[in-house]
Amino acid sequence: MDKDNLLIYTLQIEDEGKRFKHILARRFHLSRKLLQKIMVGQNVWLDGKFVFLNTRGQAGQTLVVKVSQEEHSTIDGEDLPIDIIYEDNLFLAVDKPPGQVVHPNSLYKSGTLANAVVGYWENKGETRPFRPISRIDRNTSGIVLIAKNRYAHQQLARIANKNLVEKKYLGVVGGSFPLDEGIFDSPIRVQPASKIVREVHPQGQSALTIFETIKRFPNYTLMLFSLITGRTHQIRVHCQHFGYPLLGDDLYGGDTRYIARQALHCHSYSFVNPLTGKNISIKAPLPRDIQLLLDNE
């Protein structure tokens, strides 16, 4: 059995008299939904013998829990190119090219990153759903982090909600950006007349973006963005609102003379693996179209 799919815990004095489901929820942050999944089938053992989650144990006993069962994807796998930049037993990181949709929808039913990842797993004889930690726009390039099982996804989403996952983007804005560093602190909402376009508005959701100017060129500026919140189109909207939209971003007024899509790239992911305590740092180099922008100036 895959050890990365197991929680192994020795009961302590303070655990005596408590049901295992309460111990697991407290010590391992298992959600109610995941606990319900675990309760179906023989997934919990105490000192090597199958038990139910309502069981109570004694200090010194060893509790072993299988946290993720075999699952099948509802997405069709396809044999597509895929640029894997990190993989372990729990997570997969892919450098998504611009123009590729992350997940199938009514407009893009195939050819998506999800189809490619599921196909990659199928070629290895593995079956699992596609569980991205977060998504990026079709025309944004860079890292998409994917959890390999339900528990890994739940735990990383949990620390991401606590701002314990550092996610950084490189972007190129039009003109010479006037500040060296700072924070965009402007709430964002969906424009009333659109289901897609966002705007800064006092009644919007809180949105915070840390920015740093990396290098100014004659016609544009390379910048580094760190997301504190994760609103849809957040960097794009904040840059537009400040008067320096991303190059190529025709949805938000960007100059389209230099590049055919928004010049935005998810460059790095850093976090402490909530299951192993290991520091993980993942980086994706700039894609060719953005690198050409910088080389030509």
Q: Tell me which of 66, 83, 116 is where a domain ends.
A: 66
User: Would the pLDDT of 1 be above 50?
Assistant: no
Query: Do 145 and 190 contact (CB within 8 A), yes or no?
Result: no
24-38, 200-214, 230-244, 271-285: range with lowest mean pLDDT: 24-38
Has residue 20 been placed in a domain?
yes
pLDDT digits (tens, 9 = 90+) for 108-140: 989 999 999 999 999 998 888 899 988 899 999
Has residue 135 been placed in a domain?
no
Cα 271–Cα 275–Cα 277 angle in degrees, nearest 5: 55
Residue 137 known to be catalytic: yes
Has residue 217 been placed in a domain?
yes
Give one DSSP letter per residue of 177-198, joined into a string: ---SEEEEE--EEE-TT-SS-E
Q: Tell me which of 66, 86, 117 is where a domain ends.
A: 66
pLDDT digits (tens, 9 = 90+) for 85-99: 999 888 999 999 999
pLDDT digits (tens, 9 = 90+) for 44-64: 888 888 888 888 888 888 888
Has residue 285 been placed in a domain?
no
Query: What does the buried/exposed string (b/e) look like for 192-217 if buried means 16 or more CB atoms within 10 Å of the residue's CB?
Result: eeeeeebbbeeebeebbbebebeebe
Has residue 77 been placed in a domain?
no
Q: Give residue 135's pLDDT.
A: 86
Confidence of residue 269 (pLDDT cuts 50, 70, 90): very high
The domain that holds 23 is classified in CATH as 3.10.290.10
- CA dist 156 and 91 (Å) reads 10
User: Would the pLDDT of 70 be above 70?
Assistant: no
Has residue 26 been placed in a domain?
yes
Which of 15, 95, 137, 255 does the annotation list as catalytic? 137
Q: Tell me which of 20, 47, 66 is where a domain ends.
A: 66
Instruction: Please give the tally of structural domains in the chain.
Output: 2
The domain that holds 194 is classified in CATH as 3.30.2350.10
Q: What is the pTM of this model?
A: 0.84
Query: Do 119 and 75 contact (CB within 8 A), yes or no?
Result: no
Has residue 94 been placed in a domain?
no
Average pLDDT rounded to a whole number, residues 272-284: 86
Domain with 8 in it: 3-66
Query: Do 227 and 167 contact (CB within 8 A), yes or no?
Result: yes
User: Would the pLDDT of 20 be above 50?
Assistant: yes
Has residue 281 been placed in a domain?
no
Q: Give residue 182's pLDDT.
A: 97
pLDDT digits (tens, 9 = 90+) for 131-168: 998 889 999 999 999 998 888 888 888 887 777 789 99
